[in-house]
Structure 1
Amino acid sequence: MLLDKSTSMSLMDISKIFSLLQPKEDEEEDTNCCQELNQAVFKDDDKLLTDLLSQDKYRKCINHRSGWGIPVTPLRTAAAQGHLHCLEVLLAHGAEVDSLDVKAQTPLFTAVAAKHLDCVVALLEAGANPNGSLYNNCSPVLTAAREGDVDILRELLRHGADVDVKPKMPDWASNATTCRGPLYISAVYGHLDCFKLLLQHGANPDYNCTEEKMLTRIKQPKTVLEMCLRYGCGLEYIQLLIDFGANVFLPTLIVDKTTRQNEAVMLLLKERVCPKPLMSQARLALWRFLPMENKMCSIDCLDIPKILKNYLNHVS
């Protein structure tokens, strides 16, 4: 008798659990609507997407996630596929511009990673955070610097992205890797245009990481100059760092007999003994006086001849 009762209760409990797991009618309808929106975006059918979003039941699902593997919003799908018109339709109908997926990636990060410049611009103009998500280990700027996407990088920096952003690492993992910011990455991957652009927007020419707390936890933080010498980045990188005020007395790598960059080493040694020309010193003094963010924009606002603006911006 007791056994039968126990068995009966167990079956009842299982039935309750399964009933709870079954989607409610409203939830099932929302999922279907979201899937239809995602399908329209995936097919790049902005007309169908507009028709769907003219109905309330679709509009209320515009920020819902659906799909196998990584459930995503329609806006994330549009950014990943580079479907600009669909992306613009979604933004016009109130799609959340900085919605996160399960990897804490924003639509902007997805568009940057997929190299869709037009979608990047549209998202930034709609107010997307140029730094991406605080919860993602990487960032749009780091991604663009690694891939050498100078046009995308320019748009991010123009909209206020952190030029010295670093990978997000836990405190216990603090080492030289945590200092590998966009300037370092662009040099190692050989993207000279990105390297110069970062310096023009105020990247620190000595250390990628400027956070004192982080630097104190690293026994021997490496300067960007040291990294450029070690990885054989070439004279252009060394000269740019010197022009933008890197401390030429910081690197210790130049005494390493295994260094293959003899010309770069000689350039650095020459800079140690020969003072900078007066014009270069004046440019550096003014450069350091300008605010850290949007240095190029600040120079463009100065009431001085164009030729001087170009000189201050290191534009030949």
Structure 2
Amino acid sequence: SIRLNQLKCVFVCLGHLRCLQLLLAHGAEVDSVDVKAQTPLFSAVCGRYLGCVLALLRAGADPNGNLRNAGSPVLTAAREGDAEILRHLLRHGAEVNARSKVTLWTSGVAVCSGPLYLAAVYGHLDCFRILLLYGADPNYNWPDDKSSTRAMPARKTVLEMCLRHGCSVDFIRLLIEFGANVYLPTLIIEKSTKQNEALELLLKERGCPRSLVSQCRLSIRRHLKQVNRIQDLDSLDVPPRLLNYLKHKPMNCSISQ
């Protein structure tokens, strides 16, 4: 049979889509793994070969990669800022709240790295918004799980990590819009323009309850996530205005995105 090394040389070296399609057509194992448990899809995402990613997904590749691999296609796409690849992975059912198996230490704080966190600290606002649109938990890392120990400081939510890293206020605004709990982070005042702007927004939100329109949208989206339909928003039989509403877009704008 055609094994992983033949698949990988196609896109890791040069990303030849036609060669990949030929290999798949002749029975190549789509989810075979190497010694690092990296699947062909994971390698294609690392190489940012969109055509190869699409071919593998259409051939039935697991969008989550292999469980024995320390990373995942979604984590990689979020870190690299490849919004188009990330969107296709999520459309094919990839886990939007994937967790890295590597615990990161930043500013003395233990963080269980996830896609939202990576998109934020690397400054990829488009990827950050796509993850939230596909159901990423805006309170990722909360509450702490039982694996935490006294020797390891408590993990922080994405909102708190955005504040600590001085992410632009746009990241904070998106988290609030998609339902982040504004009371979770411990506020730390720093001499940073971005930090001050973000803190000002957060304090304002703490003093103003969510509108009924916002609460209804969050409830509907939460239900769609529970029934595993959040990735199928575009295929829902609903009026365009309602679809725009659920996708956090202006009610009268185009829905082609």
TM-score by length of 1: 0.71
Query: Of residues 218, 240, 250 in structure 1, which corresponds to 2:174?
Result: 240
Q: Which residue of 2 aligns with 1:314?
A: 248
Distance across 1 between alignment mates of 2:131 and 2:122 = 14
Change (3 A) 1:79 1:214: farther
Matched, 1:256 2:189: yes
Distance across 2 between alignment mates of 1:126 and 1:177 = 38
How well do the aligned residues superpose, as a CA RMSD in angstroms?
2.2
Matched, 1:204 2:137: yes
Structure number, greater radius of gyration? 1
Q: Offset at 1:137? A: 0.5
Distance across 2 between alignment mates of 1:160 and 1:242 = 25
Does the CA contact (< 8 Å) of 2:70 and 2:102 recur in 1? yes
Q: Offset at 1:300? A: 3.2
Q: Offset at 1:209? A: 6.9
Q: SS of the counterpart of 1:73?
A: helix
Q: Offset at 1:259? A: 5.5
Higher helix fraction (1 or 2) = 1
Aligned pairs (5 A) from 1:74-223: 74-80=6-12, 81-169=14-102, 177=110, 179-208=112-141, 212-214=145-147, 219-223=153-157
Distance across 1 between alignment mates of 2:155 and 2:110 = 9
Q: Offset at 1:301? A: 4.2
Does the CA contact (< 8 Å) of 2:111 and 2:156 recur in 1? no
Q: Offset at 1:177? A: 4.8
Change (3 A) 1:168 1:205: same
Q: SS of the counterpart of 1:136?
A: coil
Distance across 2 between alignment mates of 1:232 and 1:194 = 18
Count of aligned pairs between the two proteins: 242
Q: Offset at 1:256? A: 3.2
Does the CA contact (< 8 Å) of 1:108 and 1:123 recur in 2? yes
* Code of the aligned partner of 2:54: V
Deviations 1:235-283 (A, max 9, x none): 111111001100000000x243456511110100010011122211111
Does the CA contact (< 8 Å) of 2:90 and 2:231 recur in 1? no
Q: Offset at 1:291? A: 2.5
TM-score by length of 2: 0.87
Matched, 1:283 2:228: no
Greater length-normalized contact order (CA 8 Å, ≥ 6 residues apart) = 2
Q: Which moved more, 1:180-189 or 1:280-289?
A: 280-289
Q: Offset at 1:215? A: 5.5
Distance across 2 between alignment mates of 1:149 and 1:282 = 31
Deviations 1:145-190 (A, max 9, x none): 00000000011111111111111149xxxx9555110000000000
Deviations 1:206-248 (A, max 9, x none): 1247783446785422011111111111111111100110000
Q: Which residue of 2 aligns with 1:270?
A: 204
Question: Percent of aligned positions with the same letter in both sequences?
Answer: 57
Aligned pairs (5 A) from 1:296-311: 296-297=231-232, 299-311=233-245
Q: Offset at 1:135? A: 1.3
Aligned pairs (5 A) from 1:41-56: none
Distance across 1 between alignment mates of 2:26 and 2:231 = 35
Q: Which residue of 2 aligns with 1:21?
A: none
Deviations 1:62-111 (A, max 9, x none): 22xxxxxxxx5211111312110000000000001111112211111110
